[in-house]
Amino acid sequence: MKVIPGQACLRLLSEWEAKSGIGPRRHPPVVHLNGEILRPLSPPFLQATGTDQVVGLGLVVVSLIIFTYYTAWVILLPFIDSQHVIHKYFLPRAYAVTIPLALGLLLLLFVGMFITYVMLKNQKMTKKAQ
């Protein structure tokens, strides 16, 4: 398999699109040309760097820990005797609803603030353009 770099690949893809009559971005990712299979490289801005991969792995690990803790807290803990030592590692069950509810409301608040900010910013830019 022959891999070709960005600009040449884009040129070949646009030529192939023009010949085949298929619109842009509707062709398969593998292009056959002169019997060889050419696979375009993804643009550099789409490639994850090492730091991106480490941050992504960290987020996945933290999410799995939180999911496991919450699942044990909400689903398994009610079936364990209340005098068992494992109960000291968990908050009271009332917080199992309160904490996610508060975090969800905070998330909605920040999303709403972001949307409001973007809309006001676009409105100011529109007024300047006129």
Spatial separation of the C-alpha atoms in residues 13 and 101, rounded to whole Å: 49
Report the DSSP beta bridge partners of residue 3: 39
Mean pLDDT of the chain: 80
Contacts of 20 (CB under 8 A, 6+ apart): 27
Rounded alpha-carbon distances, angstroms, from residue 46 to 5, 31, 39, 42: 14, 20, 16, 6
Is 0.75 surpassed by the pTM of this model? no
pLDDT at position 50: 85
Higher pLDDT, 9 or 66: 66
In percent, how much of the chain has pLDDT > 90? Answer: 50
Per-residue pLDDT band at 126 (split at 50, 70, 90): confident
pLDDT at position 128: 77
Q: Which of 43, 25, 31 is nearest to 1 (CA)?
A: 31
Could you tell me how many helices (H) and strands (E) the chain has, helices first?
Answer: 3, 3
Residues 45-71: tens digit of each pLDDT: 567 788 888 999 999 999 999 999 999
∠ CA 58-60-63, nearest 5°, is 110
∠ CA 31-33-39, nearest 5°, is 35
Residues 67-78: tens digit of each pLDDT: 999 999 999 999
pLDDT at position 48: 74
pLDDT at position 27: 46
